[in-house]
Structure 1
Amino acid sequence: MLTLLPRLLHQTKNHHFLRRCCSQRPLPVLTLFTKDPCPLCDEAKEVLEPYKHKFVLQEVDISLPENSVWHDRYKYDIPVFHLNGQFLMMHRVNTNILEKGLAKAERQTTQ
């Protein structure tokens, strides 16, 4: 496989796609603090759909007893998003903030 990869990359027109999907780089983790029901969270997940290949989505239900710290912090602000454990945005998905955060996360993994 490793010996075939350079040839495949050379032969394909979409070598950037192959490099990304065969990469050993882990995807950043986008954490969504949510609860059920949460119509704004559902709306946010729809906005995230075109970006889903760029991150791993982890949902944290703040209404569960084990997540009481997050409930106390975010009960009036969900949806809230963290990227790789750092606060990113709340209330609605801002695609500009998301794209900048994902680009920064990608730069950090390539260094």
Structure 2
Amino acid sequence: MLTLLPKLLHQIKTPSRVLRTTCSQRSLPILTLFTKDPCPLCEEAKEMLEPYRHRFVLQEVDITLPENSVWYDRYKYDIPVFHLNGQFLMMHRVSIAVLEKRLAKAEKEPV
């Protein structure tokens, strides 16, 4: 039992290594979906995005809420609409090619 202890201690990360790992990890880009309920095209779009969910944080904005009237005026005929990190990405349908290109670019940007 005592012979295993040094091996186990060696495998445990020291606090400085844990801190370094945590601080060096980049935050995921924010993919904003402008939607309403119901929105069958939005549900279809979310299904298409599922294989990529580990590469972004999905934020949904219901354009029918009073506080989102600016987005309603802008996108009422175009949902689903997507922004990546606050910049327009695509609308109506998910383009995997566009998504992959912009995610790759966002992942290369400095922290």
Question: Match for residue 51 of structure 2?
Answer: 50
**Structure 1 partner of 2:30:** 29
Equivalent residue letter for 2:52 = Y
Normalised to the residue count of structure 2, the TM-score between the two structures is 0.79
Number of residue pairs aligned between Structure 1 and Structure 2:
96
Task: Measure how far apart 1:109 and its partner are.
Answer: 3.3
User: Map of 1:56-71 to 2, 5 A cutoff?
Assistant: 56-71=57-72
Query: Which 4+ stretches in 1 moved above 4 angstroms?
Result: 2-5
Aligned to 2:86: 85
Instruction: Name structure 2 gaps, 5 residues minimum.
Output: 1-12
Bigger radius of gyration among the two: 2
Distance 1:4 1:56 in 2: 26
Distance in 1 of aligned mates of 2:91 and 2:68: 18
Q: TM-score, normalization: structure 1?
A: 0.79
Report the aligned-residue RMSD: 2.0
Q: Which amino acid aligns with 1:40?
A: L
SS in 1 for 2:109: helix
Q: Hey, what's the Cα distance between the residues in 1 that align with 2:54 and 2:24? A: 13
Q: Percent identity?
A: 75
Deviation at 1:4, TM superposition (A): 6.6
SS in 1 for 2:110: helix
**SS, match of residue 79 in structure 2:** coil
Structure-2 change in CA distance of 1:22 and 1:43 (3 Å): farther
Gaps of 5+ in 1: 6-18
Distance change >3 Å, CA 23–CA 40, structure 1 → 2: farther
